[in-house]
Chain A
Amino acid sequence: MQRALLCVFLILSLLGAASGGVTVTGQILDYEKGFLFLASGDGFKVAPNAIIVNGPPQTRRYARVTFNASGVVTKIEVSRSKLAAEGDLGAVRQFAVSLSTPAPNPDLAPSRSISRCSLTRAGKLVGLTITVQVPPGTGPTDTIYMTSDQSAWNAQAYRLDRIDALHYRTTLKLLSGTVLHVLFDRGSTQSIQVGENGIEQEPYLLCIGDEDAQAFRAIVDRWGDEQNGEPQQIPQALPTPYNPAPFPNLPTPPPAPRPSGLPD
């Protein structure tokens, strides 16, 4: 049965082609008042006796649309899933109905100051390698993360792997066209990097282009929880009394006289 239908479909397609018709695929924007609108924004006149296959044309759905030689839609084959590109949507634009004469849009004129983001073809999955150089005072066992507006500024959203004494790295798969604001931290809000002048800094702005492999490098001048060049952690307990000795876990001293105030 399916084969028979397919044969009929092919024959009809050939007949359409033979009669000068054009076929394109595209996403449906609207179907009303005798017009079929595709996602290009173009509205096409639909013949009153047009054949509609697979249910009514609805917004979001896809369609294979056949035009006759006059540019009127004679057949709409609706699909719930995206169809392979077929035909030239630009070529059928001549059939689009519009009251006004087309006019150029100055907003679309090429601009020298155009940003990388606006030149990117969005929606392609690409790899982004992020490498960050950390301050020399960063502890060898510290864990470094990237926080971003993609993760509601969760300080532990993306963990980086240590690659040497001063560098950490991660690779992410992102969609091209994604705009990211990012900062780096040591796993807490308090540790989010600050500027070289000790004042909090604006996030880096990343625009993901459409090259398959991309790289971003950043230098962290200092961490937000550094004091006097040393990391200071905000404890989840009252601070321990000041320890005048640089060794926090000396063994219990012998009973012989020994200055008090030193840690047990």
Chain B
Amino acid sequence: MLFLLLSVLLHVNGDNVQFFYDRFLLEADGNVRVTTSDGMTMTGDSFSMDLKLNRFVLAGHVHVQDRAGAQDGAALADFLDFNRIYFVPILRQAQDDKTAARDDGPSPDRWTFIDGDFAHPAKGREMPGDTFFFPDTGGAKPFIMTDSATVGSRSFVRFGGNHLDVANGLGAYVPTPSYYVNFSDDQHLGDNSLAGASFDATDQLAGNANSISAVHFRYDPTNKTYLSFEQHFSGKKAYAVFSVNPLTRQRKFWDLLTSDRPSEHFQIRTFTQLSTFQHGLSEPTDSGQYTTVQLTQALPRSFLQLNTQFTNYSLLTPVSDIQHRHPFQAQLTAQTFNNRIGKLPLYESVIYGFGYQHDSYGLQTIGGNTYTSIWQHNLGIQMYVPAVKIGNNPNDAKNLYLNATFQKNRTWNSAPHYIDTTQTSLSLSKTLDRHFLAFASYSVQNTGDYYGALQSIVYPSYVPVVDGVADPGYAAFNGVATFRTLSVDVNYSNNGNFAASLLARKHTDFPKPFPGLFPTPVLNILGQQQLANYLGEPPYDVTAEVRARINSRMSIDLARSYFFNYGGQRWSPAFVIQVTQ
């Protein structure tokens, strides 16, 4: 609320009010009337406001009215951030006979109002050179055409009944009842709690400096087309986002994100998701919920973080035993900052965590013992070498850059096993010219799940048979896997308007992939693989991706992978198409 009090509200009306989204320009022409929250009313022929610079100019037959009186003039510019109003009044000489020009009739002057003191203008003061310039919008089409707008300085602009360019610059206007644009530096008004989507057109129906209400028109390959609703609130130290997605499908996710930062060194973040299956808003046929809470405490050169998660598989009367479960997990982690080792181009960070898992249904059964609770702790180290130049050519395109990372983590569990994960990667990159760059990388991930004497019980050796074909190699797998990936990537970009990349990878894994043996991991909602390494990954893949900027606010991204007929699979199931705004 304090922010609202500090910011100035401007109400702009005119025959033709336009908003240019790419330059954050609000332009108005014809019978323009501007009223401000501090009591000024101004009329004129044309108005222009640069929302980012937080200043406006009104010109042409200007009439200004405030508590101190009224005055006509040629132009007025208000630099809101600096509390300076520059005015070109047109005075009758009798109004200022001491300094009047010596001929008859009206005469212009230059006045500067300082810090809102309208009774005592600084007369004749030099003004900044571009004070009264109107921007040249050329042939650009406005994003919004309307007859009124309300501006919250440095935070938002809200339009009344308007025509909105749904094609973002192509001039396909559709009428909408209202529209709101946030341009504040408060990133939390842009936070969203929705899942990803291939296409998302957002209609921000209402809002002010601290809140936004928005309806999203979306498409994704799983839900197809649907609507979602999202409500944002944001303050100086806290924010909350609520959403229903997809609002027009039976399977709905009701999400609530919150965050509070009581001090510069402590933050609480929560996420709660309610899942329902229901027609409209009728009584759901199933409903579940989970909540995560994250507390972070900054410490000297390190921080502590507590993550908890509570799941309720059914909020309705359970229909099976499994729905009585209420799994809970918590983990307390301490992590150091990245420290440079001596003067070497080598950095390290250490992490230690302590965790607890509970599920009354049972988390794991080993040797006849069912574990409903598991305690664990882990110790990890990260080391990396960022961008070491190889070569000393003044032409940077002729040098190579080396990057290397190493991560090692061991997790000890109260159930009798520990897990080791070691990841090493090395890459060489080269800028070929202004547009092309290429890199090659080699990475190795070793993952081992160690049960000691119980190893062969947990990971028994057997020869699986898939569609009548045996895979004897799998018999050697005893819970220790290795994933080796060689990647070559060539990238082209043209000033952000067009980018294309070609990534070729060879995976040499153990256990070896065998078509049909390993279940395919769950893809995300856009059809993309979420895991960096997984058992059964096709040995070769090539991914091509093209991204083009359609206009100043919209890009389209197309990607597809080819798997060289591994298990009969040539192309990834579908193009990944994403339109971003």
Contact A163 B437 (CB under 8 A): yes
Q: Does B29 sit at the interface, judged by CB under 8 A?
A: yes
- Per-position binary interface string of chain A over residues 242-253, scored 1 when its CB falls under 8 Å from any chain B CB and 0 otherwise: 101111111101
Contact A239 B309 (CB under 8 A): yes
Q: Does A211 sit at the interface, judged by CB under 8 A?
A: no
* Residues of B close to A110: CB separation below 8 A: none
Size of A's binding interface in residues, CB under 8 A: 110
Whole-angstrom distance between the alpha carbons of A166 and B403 in the complex? 7
Chain B interface mostly: strand
Q: Does A139 sit at the interface, judged by CB under 8 A?
A: yes
Contact A136 B407 (CB under 8 A): yes
* Residues of B close to A101: CB separation below 8 A: 99, 124
Contact A99 B23 (CB under 8 A): no
Contact A140 B99 (CB under 8 A): no
- Per-position binary interface string of chain A over residues 188-226, scored 1 when its CB falls under 8 Å from any chain B CB and 0 otherwise: 111010011111100100000000000000000100000
Whole-angstrom distance between the alpha carbons of A47 and B379 in the complex? 86
Q: Does A228 sit at the interface, judged by CB under 8 A?
A: yes
Q: Does B506 sit at the interface, judged by CB under 8 A?
A: no
Q: Which of A71-109 contact B (CB under 8 A)?
A: 82, 97-105, 107-108
Q: Does A20 sit at the interface, judged by CB under 8 A?
A: no
Q: Which of B34-42, B485-493, B565-573 contacts A (4 or more CB under 8 A)?
A: B485-493
Contact B311 A239 (CB under 8 A): yes
Whole-angstrom distance between the alpha carbons of A11 and B292 in the complex? 81
Q: Which of B176-211 contact A (CB under 8 A)?
A: 181-185, 187-193, 195-196
**Within the complex, which residue of B84, B133, B302 is in contact with A39, where a contact is CB–CB below 8 Å?**
B133
Chain A interface mostly: loop
Contact A261 B362 (CB under 8 A): yes
Smallest Cβ-Cβ distance to B204: which chain A residue: A152
Contact A251 B60 (CB under 8 A): no
Whole-angstrom distance between the alpha carbons of A232 and B305 in the complex? 14
- Per-position binary interface string of chain A over residues 136-173, scored 1 when its CB falls under 8 Å from any chain B CB and 0 otherwise: 11011100000101111111111101111111011111
Contact B525 A236 (CB under 8 A): yes
Task: Tell me the minimal C-beta distance from B461 to chain A in angstroms.
Answer: 10
Q: Does B167 sit at the interface, judged by CB under 8 A?
A: no
Contact B449 A97 (CB under 8 A): no
* Residues of B close to A68: CB separation below 8 A: none
Q: Which of B5-13, B143-151, B363-371 contacts A (4 or more CB under 8 A)?
A: B363-371
Q: Does B343 sit at the interface, judged by CB under 8 A?
A: no
Task: Tell me the minimal C-beta distance from B78 to chain A in angstroms.
Answer: 14
Task: Tell me the minimal C-beta distance from A137 to chain B in angstroms.
Answer: 6
Contact B88 A41 (CB under 8 A): yes
Query: Can you list 27 pairs linking A and B with CB atoms under 8 Å apart?
Result: A29-B59, A37-B75, A39-B134, A41-B86, A41-B132, A43-B88, A60-B29, A98-B109, A99-B96, A105-B126, A133-B386, A156-B578, A159-B555, A165-B405, A171-B493, A171-B496, A173-B496, A197-B302, A227-B307, A228-B380, A233-B530, A234-B271, A238-B288, A239-B309, A246-B447, A247-B447, A251-B464
Which 10 interchain pairs have the tightest Cβ spacing?
A153-B190, A100-B124, A261-B364, A197-B298, A59-B60, A43-B108, A164-B429, A165-B427, A30-B74, A100-B123
8 new A-B contacts, CB < 8 A, other than A241-B325, A242-B359, are: A98-B108, A136-B383, A140-B532, A150-B183, A164-B403, A221-B337, A239-B309, A247-B449
A binding-site residues for B, Cβ under 8 Å: 27, 29-30, 32-35, 37, 39-41, 43, 58-60, 82, 97-105, 107-108, 122-123, 127, 133, 135-137, 139-141, 147, 149-159, 161-167, 169-173, 175, 177-179, 181, 183, 187-190, 192, 195-200, 203, 221, 227-229, 232-234, 236-239, 241-242, 244-251, 253-254, 256-262, 264
